[in-house]
């Protein structure tokens, strides 16, 4: 039964201190709280209790106002997405955390080199890569900061690819789906949307985006933008660990990203715009959904069931409440997968999601 | 008591560079310090007060090397993102016999940091680029750290850490294995054909 649960694997990319560890602690900490479950009708549960406790220890530290220590080892976290009172998760969300420095520099110690290599190889099995852009620096330094970050990321991606190729085991595939996430979104002006950020970066850093797209071999790199905030902070301290932006959107947005790629591949139009528009466009894909496995690369086929359960045509004009009701009804009947899919649709239909995500036409 | 710095493993981070070894011991000599570090500090979380553990490293050569380890947050330093900086120290003391424990000041780790003084502060603020371990040049000057005796506590050598074998730098992937097999099979076939042709000509 456990093997039948679809899983989505997500990896955060970004230099040391870009907020990967804080994100994960907040991601788990906030989505397993009782108040979150009351409002959203689901919660996250760590598959490994000691992993969950470790993340909670970091989360409690944030509740006291301190950011967690940086990560100095590779960790794989597996969370069960549990709807209502259902005993089984409808979806597993898998995250990888690792020292950001591993992306920037080759360690001197041989066994750390080997651990880094294993970790990077795992990252490549992700369905979606999320590149973190420090929102505070984006606001204060503007596009020069973004250009520098993208150039740096391109160079690191190339260096690591070359390093693997030189060692006789070239990288087989990097994630095809990428989301550029503007972190620390709590520090952004209130009227700044993902769409505005996208327009700004696409017009002001086109060359750098094209450079990364080539380096990671993903034509769509730079087309998807998400506003994220793990906590409300002042740059040095956590002011409120319970205030976050976009955490609950990451998994559903990643699925939409996979579907959009599918639409591109099948030449059935493409999903772009704000989430509502994307879902409207993707609903044209319904006749194709039954044949998902023909289009999806093997790495994505573990998601097929869930993608089908999203029922794209249903409730296009409906808001989050409509899907929450569907979620509750499915949970009542013990339909785990349908309940999870409805919960994800509810997140995508929320007003907050319309501001926080934007996909540009590529 | 004095800490011989040639027997110290120190892992920490700088303002901008990420966690790495700034000192690796001259003795004992093993090649898998990262794996050892992960096992030695398993379950130990660096806090404001130092946390110490003790144990024995079982080397591949069958040697049993006692060690004491401590981890704590630096009381003043913060990284570029404002997060506390953790230190991880392991010391392999030269002791006669096989004692069950060792009496050490609870703050022996912070005392070592203090002994490196400006050398450590310079390394912390640097870009971290170095061919050698970052504090190896300073170690050759300081050599050892005399410990003050205040606040001693007993650390038991009750943790067992087995030296891991050095992993291959390039683990053969299924693809490279397949390629090798196919190459070998094609080679063998060509060789067999050549032999057949030569013997039946």
Q: What is the pTM of this model?
A: 0.83
Residues of A (116-145) whose Cβ lies below 8 Å from B: 117-118
- The pairing of beta strand A91-97 with beta strand A75-83: antiparallel
Q: Which ipTM score applies to this complex?
A: 0.79
Contact between A114 and B169 using a beta-carbon 8 Å cutoff: yes
Nearest CB to B82 within list A167, A168, A236: A236
Q: What digits encode the pLDDT tens for the residues A189-246?
A: 989 999 999 999 999 999 999 999 998 888 889 999 999 999 998 877 899 999 999 9
Residue A327 pLDDT:
93
Residues of B (1-30) whose Cβ lies below 8 Å from A: 11, 13, 16-21, 24
Whose tokens are 């760590």? That residue is A46
Alpha-carbon distance B166 to nearest alpha carbon in chain A (angstroms): 7
Split at pLDDT 50, 70, 90, the class of B175 is very low
Long-range contacts of B128-136 (CB under 8 A, 24+ apart): B128/A105, B128/B14, B128/B16, B128/B17, B128/B18, B128/B20, B133/A108, B133/B21, B133/B22, B133/B23, B133/B24, B134/B20, B134/B22, B134/B23, B135/B10, B135/B22, B135/B23, B136/B23
Q: What digits encode the pLDDT tens for the residues B115-169?
A: 999 999 999 999 988 888 999 999 999 999 998 876 688 899 999 999 998 776 5
Mean pLDDT of the B174-196 span: 71
- The pairing of beta strand A224-227 with beta strand A91-97: unpaired
Q: What digits encode the pLDDT tens for the residues A24-35?
A: 999 999 998 999
Nearest CB to B83 within list A57, A67, A111: A67
Residue A362 pLDDT:
65
Q: What digits encode the pLDDT tens for the residues A258-278?
A: 888 777 777 666 678 888 888
Choose from B14, B15, B20, B89 for mutation: most chain A CBs within 10 A. B20
Mean pLDDT of the A289-318 span: 79
Contacts with B83 from chain A: Cβ below 8 Å: 17, 66-70
Nearest CB to B19 within list A57, A99, A110: A99
Residues of A (260-319) whose Cβ lies below 8 Å from B: none
């Amino acid at each position: 039964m456990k093997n039948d649960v679809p899983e989505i694997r997500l990896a955060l990319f970004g230099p040391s201190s870009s907020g990967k560890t804080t994100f994960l602690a907040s991601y788990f900490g906030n989505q397993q709280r009782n108040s979150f479950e009351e409002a959203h009708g689901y919660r996250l549960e760590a598959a490994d209790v000691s992993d969950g406790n470790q993340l909670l220890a970091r989360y409690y530290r944030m509740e006291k106002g301190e950011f967690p220590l940086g990560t100095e080892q590779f960790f794989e976290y597996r969370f069960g997405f549990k709807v209502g009172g259902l005993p089984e998760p409808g979806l597993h969300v898998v995250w990888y955390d690792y020292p950001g420095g591993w992306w920037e520099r080759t360690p001197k110690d041989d066994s750390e080199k080997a651990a880094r290599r294993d970790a990077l190889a795992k990252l490549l099995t992700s369905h979606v890569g999320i590149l973190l852009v420090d929102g505070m620096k984006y606001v204060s330094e503007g596009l020069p900061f973004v250009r520098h970050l993208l150039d740096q990321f391109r160079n690191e991606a190339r260096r690591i690819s070359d390093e693997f190729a030189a060692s006789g085991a070239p990288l087989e595939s990097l994630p095809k789906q990428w989301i550029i996430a503007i972190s620390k979104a709590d520090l952004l002006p209130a009227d700044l949307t993902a769409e505005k950020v996208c327009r700004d970066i696409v017009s002001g850093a086109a060359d750098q985006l094209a450079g990364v797209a080539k380096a990671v071999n993903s034509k769509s790199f730079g087309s998807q933008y998400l506003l994220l905030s793990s906590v409300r902070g002042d740059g040095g301290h956590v002011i409120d660990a319970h205030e976050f932006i976009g955490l609950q959107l990451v998994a559903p947005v990643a699925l939409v990203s996979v579907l959009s790629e599918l639409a591109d591949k099948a030449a059935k139009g493409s999903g772009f715009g704000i989430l509502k528009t994307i879902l409207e466009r993707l609903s044209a894909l319904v006749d194709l959904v039954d044949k998902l496995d023909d289009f999806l690369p093997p790495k994505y086929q573990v998601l097929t069931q869930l993608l089908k359960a999203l029922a794209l045509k249903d409730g296009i004009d409906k808001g989050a409440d409509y899907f929450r009701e569907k979620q509750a009804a499915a949970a009542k009947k013990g339909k785990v997968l349908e309940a999870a899919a409805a919960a994800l649709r509810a997140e995508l239909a929320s007003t907050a999601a319309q501001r926080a995500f934007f996909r540009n036409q590529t | 008591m004095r800490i011989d710095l040639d027997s110290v493993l120190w892992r920490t981070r700088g303002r901008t560079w990420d966690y790495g070894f700034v000192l690796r011991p001259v003795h004992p000599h093993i090649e898998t310090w990262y794996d050892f570090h992960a096992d030695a500090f398993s379950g130990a979380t660096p806090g404001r007060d130092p946390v110490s553990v003790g144990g024995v490293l079982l080397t591949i050569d069958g040697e049993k090397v006692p060690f004491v380890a401590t981890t704590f947050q630096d009381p003043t330093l913060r990284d570029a993102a404002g997060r506390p900086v953790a230190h991880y120290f392991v010391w392999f003391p030269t002791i006669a016999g096989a004692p069950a424990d060792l009496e050490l000041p609870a703050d022996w780790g912070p005392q070592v940091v203090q002994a490196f003084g400006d050398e450590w502060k310079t390394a912390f603020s640097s870009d971290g680029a170095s061919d050698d371990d970052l504090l190896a040049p300073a170690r050759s000057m300081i050599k050892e750290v005399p410990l003050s005796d205040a606040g001693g506590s007993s650390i038991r050598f009750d943790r067992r850490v087995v030296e891991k074998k050095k992993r291959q730098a390039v683990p053969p992937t299924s693809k490279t294995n397949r390629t090798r097999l196919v190459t070998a099979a094609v080679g063998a076939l060509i060789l067999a054909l050549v032999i057949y042709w030569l013997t039946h000509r």
